[in-house]
Amino acid sequence: MSRTKGMNVTCERCGNTVFLKQIEDLVMDGGLTRNEQYEEMPEGWGTFYCEGKSMDMCPRCLEHMRNAVKEAMLVFAIERRRE
C-alpha cells in the first residue's frame, strides 16, 4: 500500500483544504536534520497576517479579508477626521 506523502493546508476561515504533495525529503547531518519540501500552494492561496498572527487562507477568504481590512481602515480614517 502506498500513500502519497504531503500535507493538507486548511483555510483557517472556511475550512477549505488543499493537498500539497511532498516533493522531496532532504536528509542532512546523517538524519539529524530533515528538510521536507512541498509543492507550492496553488495560485491565490496565501497567508493573511493580522495582529501578529498568520493564517492560511483560500483565495476567496483572502480576498474577503483584504476587503474587510480596507473597509476597516476607511472607517477608521473617517472617524479620525470627525474628531
Applying CB under 5 A, the residues found at the interface with Zn ion are 11, 13-14, 16, 58, 61
Furthest CA-CA distance within the chain: 67
Q: Quick one: 19 or 76, whose CB is closer to Zn ion?
A: 19
We find the least distance from the C-beta atom of residue 5 to Zn ion, in angstroms, to be: 24
Q: How far is the CB of 11 from Zn ion (least distance, A)?
A: 3
- Rounded least distance, CB 3 to Zn ion, Å: 26
Nearest CB to Zn ion, comparing residues 53 and 82: 53
Whole-angstrom distance, CA of residue 5 vs CA of residue 20: 9
Place of cell 500535507: 7
SS3 of 5-37: the string is CEEEEECCCCCCEEEEEEEEEEEEHHHCEEEEE
State which residue, 9 or 58, has the beta carbon closest to Zn ion: 58
